[in-house]
Amino acid sequence: MDIKNVLLIVRKEAGESIKNRWFLLYTICFSLLALLVLFLASSRSEIAGYSGFGKTAASLINLVLLFVPLIALVTGAISISSERENGTLSYLLSHPITKSEIFVGKFIGTLIPIWFSISLGFGLAGVGVAIGGGEGDVSKYITTAFLSALLAASLLSIGLLVSVYSKRASKSIGIAVFLWLLFIILGDLGIMGTTVAMGLGIEQVFALALLNPAEVFKIASVLALSPRFEILGPVGIYAVRTFGKEGVFYLLFGIMLLWTLIPLGYAYLAFTRFRKEEI
Amino acid sequence: MASYISVLVFLTAISTSVAVSAETVHIVSPKGPFTSISQAILSAKSGDTIRVNGGTYNEHIIVDKTLNLIGINEPNIDGGGKGTVVLIKAPGVTFKGFHVSGSGESLTVEDTGIVLDSAQGSIIEDNYLHDVLFGIYLKNSSGTLIRNNTIVGKDLPIPVRGDGIRLWYSSKTKILDNTITGARDLVMWWSGDTLIKGNKIEQGRYGLHYMYSDNNVFEDNLFIGNYVGGFLMYSNNIKFHYNIFALNQGPATGYGIGFKDLDDIVASENLFIDNRIGIYMDNSPHSVDSWNTLEDNVIAFNDIGISLMPSIQRNIIVSNSFIDNVEQVEVRGGGVLAGNKWFEENKGNYWSDYRGYDEDKDGIGEIPYKAESLFEGLIDSNPVLRIFIYSPVAQAIELASDAFPVMKPAPKVTDNYPLMSSRISDRFDSPKGKFSLNLFIVSAFMTLIPLFAFFYIIRR
Amino acid sequence: MIKVKDVTKRFGNITAVDKACFSLNAGESLALLGVNGAGKSTLIKCVLGILDYSGEITLNGLNIKENEKEAKSLAGYVPQEPLFYDMRTRDVLGFFGSIRRVRSSRVDEVLDLVGLKEHERKSTSELSGGMRQRLSFAIALLSDPEVLILDEPTSNLDAGARGDFLNLIKEYKNKGKTVLFSSHRLDEVDLLADRALFMESGKVVFEGRPENLQELLGLKITINLVVPQGSVERAIGILAREGFHNAESNGRGLNIETDSKQRVDVLKKLLQEEIPISDFKIQEPSMENIIDRIKENGY
């Protein structure tokens, strides 16, 4: 793998993302909403010197959960399928560049703009909080931003996997949006329904929740932001008792890492080995 | 009072260098005349004063006479890690100004810093207790004053710690302005008519814990960072005012305050903040002719504002401010509350999640506040589902139930006169948050780096 | 320069290229002929290393599977329908130039060469079909490759653009470079190819030199003449006398099937006899005709 070629693709992809009007719209929306959330929350965040975890962090987590997976999944899903559909991939491959270089370049090149948009959103919100005199725990804030970045990487990998297996961009966008719904709402809804109907136990609910990268992100963020894992009820208490607070955090972090590396690795192999005929 | 006067007399005597008094003063210091407190006690007679100068005294003391023990320059009595350090067995003893340390670690024999056994009307004041299993232990010692002591527990896991202050059949006690850190409980058994005021209790198990103790008053106390701020059982006529219960977040419990089988409580102007559960009520009031009153309290930033068992009745909960609790009201196991008053005489509570309006500007919302969240209903009846709190699915479920009201559960609570603004007592005024330079710098970088990158790429 | 041996490419159940074999010497020019779907584009993509295949392909002795980049560096490719990223013309050249590691001044050289200098700041989406084809050609020329591979290079161009473009290729060929191109037009083959290869259903069915292709296959052209109704019978008579027996009335005039070389003779004879020809059209043999002939002749 030639790093020069990878960087060329990174530059191309990043440039295309940033000039894309949908991406710009997304970035602006995300940043403004983040600012709004923090502004509203900092208006009454302290009583007698105590401030709650409350709305600020919850809203931030929710905002990340709604926005980041969608843009990451869709960006990933179209990145290869659209080039395949319009023939530019095949043309690019006629030049002295390998599929590995293209794949790695695409992953990094699409990830960086998403990371930038997350950084921008968190940054603006953080400036707002700092000036407003709200909760000023930098490390928690950075941890959440970092977890969001990891969430983006994970869902981008899943998107890429979708992309590798799609011939048409429209189809891959459809699948990406469905996956988003699945990760953000349907999956949790399914667990909730099953729990109510069949009375799942604490361990089962915890195990099922771990299957969903978005849910894993949420639990990890709550643990990182709040000293109160009990907020997550018996499952949270069980998890912390079983693994320890740091242990749970590393477990969740590890799962998010796996949710990044496995789809990414599989997509890479599929693109470069298993599905060579699908250009 | 008598001992106060005696001390005064004694001091006057010293200052005028006239040593004439029935109350002899015995001096203990490392250089003598007495080098041990026990020797001095042995020589003293009831009513005498023992003045102990600064220094370390490695001994266990038994005070079996009515004496005034006064520490000057912080003398330290150290038990060497064995047994109880100071045992007071006579009534009317004054024990003041000492450092007490080095008790044993046995829970079964209850190794303690200072034990008062049948020492009615004693005064324990201005002492600093550390490295002790139990701090101050009152047995059958009613009418005692415990004031301005600091108790730091042994650095042990909570289950093997002793209590900071323990009252056993010791009524009419006053516990004032003490600080207890890292102990187990402040616990009272069969000790009524007690005033507990101005204490700070932190990093323990139960900040306040008691049973069978009636007619107590709690004011201006701070219960911070304990597993449970206070847990009170089987008692009547308890008054709470101006206390702060904050950051009590023990696993599975984490109550700001919990009531079990408690009658005739009046709790007003307390602050319950950032606990797992602000107020937990189980079978209170217990008697059919009893009512509890909770008014003008601030219940904010808790995971659950107030948690009640479904059978709870006869509570008047009015004029409180429920602010940004993740769940404002929980009904344990799901269900609907009945027989409690959430409003009275056209006045209800403030609910931060109230979405109504105040047309006639009388400070009261025109439509009732109803706690009828579908998601909350689900997590009340299936606590494991709490894991999904803050997930978009929670909002999705609320949206769905807003769109299809048939899905809405019956309201847990209905407040017909919700207040439009919160009422936070001036005594809880907080300084405005400080400008955070670190956060500002980090955030500014997080903002500027992508902005520059965006412009750089777009301009290329 | 190019050696293709037993190359087979399957898409699922469909065999797009079936045991294709050919070789191409340095400086030689080879046309791949065949109807749409014969497997020309697929074979070209195999040669370029875009598609995976079974069999063996070497470029200048380099196996494209083992020495992917070196082999790909040897060839410039002009696809059937050039599609680019939505960048400025100059940036597209810069991008591919970087992949091919050419010096940046080369971008200006090829822009001049294909006459796109004045459009260098335009986005590729603003270029016309002919300009896009030239841009594609410019990209192919960036590294001044030994081999130029073109897939139906003129199929999307109008007549004028097509002529210009063929001249560009011709110039390149005249520099002694190797050219492999696919086409379904015999005139392009005449103009550019030293040899022609016919493909049908993925198989190479015939190989020959273009100048004797028509004779070899006995290919006929059809001349459509528009003549007044009254002159049709006379014209058929004249033609029969001169030895052109395959003439028949078609309502507006007549169709004459003849050898390509004799097309001028037909017209000459009729004009000498003062047959009033108001219009005429020549139908070259279609690729289908050619393939049919190949099959009939059992090549």
The pLDDT, as a whole number, for residue C179 is 92
Which of B323, B433, B439 is nearest residue A126 as measured by Cβ atoms?
B439
B400 in contact with A, Cβ within 8 Å:
no
Assess whether C122 and C228 both reside in one domain.
no
Report, as an integer, the average pLDDT of C37-41: 85
pLDDT > 90 fraction of chain C, expressed in percent and rounded:
10
Tokens of C8: 């087979």
In this complex, the residue of A15, A120, A126 whose CB is nearest that of residue B451 is A120
Interface mutation vs chain A, best among B221, B223, B443, B449, most A CBs within 10 Å: B443
Q: Which of A238-247, B81-90, B337-346 has the highest mean pLDDT?
A: B81-90
CATH of the domain at C6: 3.40.50.300
- Domain match, C176 and C243 both: no
Question: ∠ CA(C247), CA(C248), CA(C253), 5° rounding?
Answer: 105
Between strands B123-125 and B94-96, the pairing is parallel
Contact A276 C95 (CB under 8 A): no
Q: Does the CB of C83 have a partner CB in chain A at under 8 Å? A: yes
Number of domains in chain A: 1
Query: Which of 91-130 (A) contact C at CB < 8 A?
Result: 91, 93-98
Alpha-carbon gap, residue A159 to A161, rounded angstroms: 5
Is B261 buried (19+), middle (13-18) or exposed (0-12) by CB count in 10 A? middle
Residue A110: its chain B contacts at CB < 8 A?
none
Q: What is the dihedral of CA B196, B200, B202, B208, to 10 degrees?
A: 10
A87 touches chain C (CB under 8 A): yes
Instruction: Give residue B195's pLDDT band: very low, low, confident or very high (50, 70, 90).
Output: very high
Residue B262 distance to chain A (closest CA, Å): 26
Shared domain check, C143 and C228: no
User: Taking residues C138-167, what's their average pLDDT?
Assistant: 85
Q: Is C53 on the interface with A (CB under 8 A)?
A: no
Q: What secondary structure does DSSP assign to C229-254, as a single string? A: HHHHHHHHHHHHHHT---EEE-SSEE
Predicted confidence at residue A134, as pLDDT, reads 61
Look at B22 and B163; give whichever has higher pLDDT.
Answer: B163
Least confidently predicted of A190-204, B88-102, B120-134: A190-204
Least confident of A49-58, B166-175, C282-291: A49-58
Minimal Cα–Cα distance from C100 to chain A, Å?
A: 7
* Any domain includes A148: yes
User: Which pairs with CB-CB distance under 8 Å and at least 24 residues apart come from B404-411?
Assistant: B407/B374, B408/B372, B408/B374, B409/B372, B409/B373, B409/B374, B409/B377, B410/B336, B410/B372, B411/B336, B411/B370, B411/B371, B411/B372
pLDDT digits (tens, 9 = 90+) for C170-220: 888 888 889 999 887 777 887 888 888 888 888 887 777 776 666 666 677
Q: Do C86 and A16 touch (CB under 8 A)?
A: yes
Quick check: C294 pLDDT over 80? no
d(CA A71, nearest CA chain B) in Å: 16
Band of residue A124 on the pLDDT scale cut at 50, 70, 90: confident
Pair of tokens at residue A231:
């907020």
Write a three-state SS string for chain A: CCHHHHHHHHHHHHHHHHHCHHHHHHHHHHHHHHHHHHHHHHCCCEECCEECCHHHHHHHHHHHHHHHHHHHHHHHHHHHHHHHHHCHHHHHHCCCCCHHHHHHHHHHHHHHHHHHHHHHHHHHHHHHHHHHCCCCCHHHHHHHHHHHHHHHHHHHHHHHHHHHCCCCHHHHHHHHHHHHHHHHHHHHHHHHHHHHHHCCCHHHHHHHHHCCHHHHHHHHHHHHHCCCHHHHHHHHHHHHHHHCHHHHHHHHHHHHHHHHHHHHHHHHHHHHHHCCCCC
Locate tokens 């590294």: which residue? C143
Q: Quick one: pLDDT at residue B15?
A: 44
Same domain assignment for residues C130 and C253: no
Are both C207 and C243 inside the same structural domain?
no
Output the pLDDT for position A62. Answer: 87
Measured in angstroms, the CA of B46 and the nearest CA of chain A are apart by 48
- Domain-wise residue ranges, chain B: 23-204, 234-372+410-460
Pairing, β C54-59 against β C62-63 = antiparallel
Among partner residues A16, A86, A93, which is closest to C50 by beta-carbon distance? Answer: A93
Question: Hey, are the CB atoms on C81 and A87 less than 8 Å from each other?
Answer: yes
> In which domain, by residue range, is C110 found?
2-215
pLDDT-derived band of residue B145, with 50, 70 and 90 as boundaries? very high
Cβ of A228 within 8 Å of Cβ of B449? The answer is no
Structural contact between residues C7 and C55, judged by C-beta atoms closer than 8 angstroms: yes
Torsion of CA B402, B408, B412, B413, to 10 degrees: 40
| Per-residue pLDDT, C285 | 73
For residue A147, name the pLDDT band (cuts at 50, 70, 90). very high
**Residue B106's CB: how many other CB atoms inside 10 A?**
14
Stretch A198-221: mean pLDDT, rounded?
90
Q: Could you tell me whether strands B200-202 and B179-181 are parallel, antiparallel, or unpaired per DSSP bridges?
A: parallel
- pLDDT in the model for residue B426: 76
pLDDT band at B17 (very low <50, low <70, confident <90, very high): very low
- CA–CA distances in Å: residue A139 to residues A52, A76, A226, B443: 17, 30, 12, 11
User: How far are the Cα atoms of A257, B39, B249, B252, B379 from residue A229, in angstroms, in the given order?
Assistant: 22, 54, 9, 11, 16
A7 touching C (Cβ < 8 Å): no
- Length of chain A, in residues: 279
pLDDT of residue C257: 81
User: Facing residues of B273 across strands?
Assistant: B246, B300
Domain membership flag for residue A216: no
CA–CA distance, A64 with A215 (Å, rounded to integer): 12
Distance from CA of C128 to the nearest CA of A (A): 17
Contact A91 C48 (CB under 8 A): no
Residue B235 Cα, gap to closest chain A Cα (Å)? 29
Tell me if B387 and A124 make a contact (CB, 8 A cut-off): no
- C166/C239 same-domain check: no
ipTM of the complex: 0.86
User: Which letter does DSSP use for residue B126 in this model?
Assistant: S
Domain interval for residue A74: 3-182+262-274
Q: How far is C157 from chain A (nearest CA, A)?
A: 19
> Is residue C222 predicted with pLDDT exceeding 60?
yes
**Cis, peptide link before residue B409, omega less than 30° from 0:** no
For B:218-277, CB contacts with A below 8 A are: 244, 246-247, 249-252, 254, 271, 273-274, 276
**Residue in the block written with tokens 């179209």:** A78
Is the pLDDT reported for residue A133 higher than 70? Answer: no
When the pLDDT of each residue in chain C is averaged and rounded to a whole number, the result is 84
Helices (H), chain C: 40-47, 68-74, 89-99, 105-114, 129-141, 159-174, 186-192, 213-217, 229-242, 263-272, 287-297
CA distance C71 to chain A (A): 8
Please give the distance of CA C261 from its chain centroid, rounded to a whole number: 22
Same domain, C210 and C248: no
Chains with 3+ CB–CB pairs under 8 A to C are A
Helix axes C89-99, C105-114, angle to 10 degrees: 120
Contact C11 A98 (CB under 8 A): no
> What is the distance between the alpha carbons of residues B164 and B112, in angstroms, rounded to a whole number?
9
Average pLDDT over residues B101-127: 91
- The separation between the first and the last C-alpha atoms of chain A, rounded to the nearest angstrom, is 20
Most confident option among B255-269, B332-346, B424-438: B255-269
Name B150's Cβ contacts closer than 8 Å, sequence gap at least 6: B127, B128, B129, B130, B178, B179, B180, B181
Distance from the B272 Cα atom to the nearest Cα atom in chain A, whole angstroms = 10
Q: Are residues C156 and C42 in the same domain?
A: yes
Q: Beta strand pairing status for B86-88 and B112-117? A: parallel
Which CATH topology does B23-204 take? Pectate Lyase C-like (2.160.20)
Q: Kindly list the residues from chain C whose CB atom is less than 8 angstroms away from the CB atom of residue A8.
A: 95, 98-99
Of C259, C298, C299, nearest in space to C282 by CA: C259
Determine which of B387, B426, B434 to mutate to test the interface with A (most A C-beta atoms within 10 Å): B387
Determine contact: C75 vs chain A, CB below 8 A. Answer: yes
| A212 domain residue, yes or no | no
Using CA atoms, how far apart are residues C245 and C262, in angstroms rounded to an integer?
Answer: 13
For residue A272, the chain C residue with the least C-alpha distance is C52
Residue A252's pLDDT band (boundaries 50, 70, 90)?
very high
- The 10 Å Cβ neighbour count of residue C147 is 22
- CA B124 to CA B9: how far, in whole Å? 20
Task: Write down the pLDDT at residue A113.
Answer: 93
Q: Does the structure show a pLDDT above 90 at B91? A: yes
Is C82 near chain A, with CB under 8 Å?
yes
> Best interface-test mutation with B: which of A231, A237, A242, A243 has the largest number of B CBs within 10 A?
A231
> Angle at the Cα of B168 (from B163 to B169), degrees rounded to 5?
160
C261 and C134, same structural domain? no
**Residue with tokens 């550019």, as numbered in its chain:** C192
Q: Which two tokens stand for residue B281?
A: 């009520």
Q: Does C54 touch chain A (CB under 8 A)?
A: no
- As a whole number, the mean pLDDT across chain A is 87
Q: Which residues contact B82 (CB under 8 A, 6 or more apart)?
A: B60, B102, B103, B104, B111
Please tell me the predicted confidence (pLDDT) of residue A279. Answer: 58
| Three-class DSSP category at B196 | strand
- Same domain? C140 vs C240: no
Q: Which residue has the tokens 């109230």?
A: B354
Q: Is the pLDDT of residue B407 over 80?
A: no
Tokens 């601030």 locate to B298
DSSP helix/strand/coil, C161? helix
Q: Are A47 and B298 inside 8 Å of each other by CB?
A: yes
The Cα of A131 is separated from the nearest Cα of chain B by a number of Å equal to 6
Q: Provide the mean pLDDT of chain B.
A: 86
Reported as a single tens digit per residue, the pLDDT across C154-175 is: 877 777 778 888 888 888 888 8
**Could you tell me if B269 and B297 are in contact, meaning their C-beta atoms sit under 8 angstroms apart?**
yes
Distance CA C7, CA C40 (A): 12
> Quick count: other Cβ atoms within 10 Å of Cβ C110?
23
User: In angstroms, rounded to a whole number, what is the distance separating the alpha carbons of residues C280 and A205?
Assistant: 83
Contact C153, C133 (CB under 8 A): yes
Residues 272-311 of B with CB under 8 A from A: 273-274, 276, 298, 300-303
Residue B143 predicted with pLDDT over 60: yes
| pLDDT of res. A276 | 58
- pLDDT-wise least confident of A13-17, B235-239, B374-378: B374-378
Residue C264 contacts A where some CB pair is shorter than 8 Å: no
Most confident of B68-77, C226-235, C249-258: B68-77
Reported as a pLDDT band with limits 50, 70 and 90, residue B14 is very low
Contact check, Cβ <8 Å, C82/A277: no
CB C145 within 8 A of CB C175: no
Half-sphere exposure of C226 (CA within 13 A, CB side): 4
Count of structural domains within chain C: 2
pLDDT at B305: 92
Best C59, C81, C98, C180 residue to mutate vs chain A (most A CBs within 10 Å): C98
Per-residue confidence (pLDDT) for residue A148, from 0 to 100 = 94
DSSP result, C8-29: EEEETTEEEEEEEEEEE-TT-E
Helix axes A54-86, A213-225, angle to 10 degrees: 150
Candidate from A38-47, A153-162, B391-400 with smallest mean pLDDT: A38-47
- Which pair of structure tokens corresponds to residue B217? 């008053």
Closest residue in A to C97 (Cα–Cα): A95
- The reply to whether residue A47 touches residue B424, judged by beta carbons under 8 angstroms, is yes
Backbone angles phi, psi at B233, to 5 degrees: -135, 150
pLDDT over 90 at B2, yes or no: no
Lowest mean pLDDT among C98-112, C173-187, C275-289: C275-289
CA B444 to chain centre: 41
Least confident of A49-63, A66-80, A108-122: A49-63
The predicted model gives B248-270 an average pLDDT of 88
Contact A129, B439 (CB under 8 A): yes
Distance CA C101, CA C112 (A): 19
